[in-house]
Amino acid sequence: MTIIETPTPAPASLPPGTRGRFGLSDRGFRWTLGAAALVVAALAAWFLVSIVLQARPAFSTLGFSWIFQGTWDPSHGKYGLLPFILGTLEVTAIAVVLAVPIGLGTALALAYLVPARTRAGLSTTVELLAAVPSVVYGLWGLVVLAPVFRDTVEPFLTSVLGWTGLFDGPDQGVGLLLAGVILFVMIMPTMVAISRDVLAVVPNEQLEGAMALGATRWQVLRKVVVPGARTGLLGAFTLATGRALGETVAVALVIGNSPYIAHSIKSPAATIPSLIVNNFGEATGTELAVLFAAGLVLLVIGITVNSVARWLVWSTAGPSAGAAAR
């Protein structure tokens, strides 16, 4: 089967001005395209405006101070968002702290160390895993990883790093640490696929030049490849961060959902998305508006992080880098 069909020219017998089967003049065609583009633009605007409008009651009745207050108790009119903002940042921080060195090392290995024959297979595997739905990672984290964390990982970390005070409290399995680790696993494919693409655009002449000067393989990677791809790598990390910030279901399943500020890395906590998804069903009135407002806060953070990331990646490797992992 040939996929590329031979283009058929328009029948030459048609007198000028006759409508073809498609019935669209050039002007009509342009209008159709423009109208469709307008639909998308309007949809994006509708999205933004509707969330802003629905979140407004939260700001008009409560002001702005509730965003940074620490108590969440809707039945007593307390809507402190701070525990969830902190939870979101902490979980994301754990994921990113793990993902940056490991992701960079993996991308370097995939781009320059792995033999060419296995490279394609490994890269494809990593990219395919980016397509695994997040709810599946959540299920795995809750059913498989949580008991392992409770019985093995957390006791071990407490005995080794307990003196830091980060690991106080009981070993529960679910909590900040597990959520951060699950997020780390989830953002790895995105991070690796994009990092590999931006690392691969460093010109060969520069690598050869460094080798000719007697640099070892690691020195070439460290002093030529990584600095050359710096901006794009930063973009890849930022994009992965954006993904971690907005993740809902995987985190909601493994974080333990506690509306208090976590006192330890093992504590159950909650994030803005998990707050929204867990309270949406029963919320009415002010609480619902507060949830919309929390969504708006998340949206603003998410759009900012993503815009910066796109700009960074584009400026290194062009608009199509990492397209496979989007």
Partner 1 sequence: MTVLADLPADPTVERRRAVQEAAASSLRRRKIGSGIALGVCWAFLAIAIVPLVAVVAYVVVKGLPAWNAAFFTQSTVPEGIPGGGVWNAIVGTIVITGIAIAVTVPLGLVVGLFLAESDGRAAASLRFTADVMTGVPSITVGIFGYIAIVRNYGYSGLAGSFAIGFIMLPVIVRAAETAFRGVPTSLNEAALALGARKATIARRVVVPTALPGVITGVLLAVARGLGETAPLLLTIGGNQYLQWNPTKQMASLPTTIYNSSSQPYADQVQLAWGAALLLVVVVLVLSIGSRLLAARLRKERR
166 versus 297: smaller Cβ distance to partner 1? 297
Residue 239: CB minimum distance to partner 1, A: 7
Tokens (6 digits) for 106: 């993996």
**How many C-beta atoms lie closer than 10 Å to residue 312's C-beta?**
21
125 versus 152: smaller Cβ distance to partner 1? 125
Residue 187: CB minimum distance to partner 1, A: 11
26 versus 205: smaller Cβ distance to partner 1? 26
Residue 170: CB minimum distance to partner 1, A: 20
3 state DSSP class of 74: helix
Residue 121: CB minimum distance to partner 1, A: 11
Residue 294: CB minimum distance to partner 1, A: 9
Query: b or e along 121-149 (b: 16 or more beta carbons within 10 Å of the residue's beta carbon)?
Result: eebeebbebbeeebeebbebbbeebbeeb
Angle between helices 285-317 and 82-108 (to 10 degrees): 20
245 versus 261: smaller Cβ distance to partner 1? 245
CA–CA distance, 56 with 126 (Å, rounded to integer): 42
Residue 109: CB minimum distance to partner 1, A: 4
Residue 165: CB minimum distance to partner 1, A: 27
Residue 133: CB minimum distance to partner 1, A: 3
83 versus 246: smaller Cβ distance to partner 1? 246
18 versus 76: smaller Cβ distance to partner 1? 18
DSSP string, 146-192: HHHIIIIIHHHHHHHHGGGSTT-S---SSSHHHHHHHHHHHHHHHHH
CA–CA distance, 174 with 180 (Å, rounded to integer): 10
25 versus 159: smaller Cβ distance to partner 1? 25
Yes or no: say if 251 and 271 are a contact pair by the CB < 8 Å rule.
yes
Q: Which of 282, 286, 299, 273 is nearest to 54 (CA)?
A: 286
167: amino acid identity, one letter:
F
Residue 108: CB minimum distance to partner 1, A: 5
147 versus 162: smaller Cβ distance to partner 1? 147
51 versus 82: smaller Cβ distance to partner 1? 51
Angle at 290 between CA 286 and CA 294, to 5 degrees: 175
Burial of 160 (0-12, 13-18, 19+ CB in 10 A): exposed
Burial of 294 (0-12, 13-18, 19+ CB in 10 A): buried
Q: Which of 265, 306, 92, 295 is nearest to 183 (CA)?
A: 92
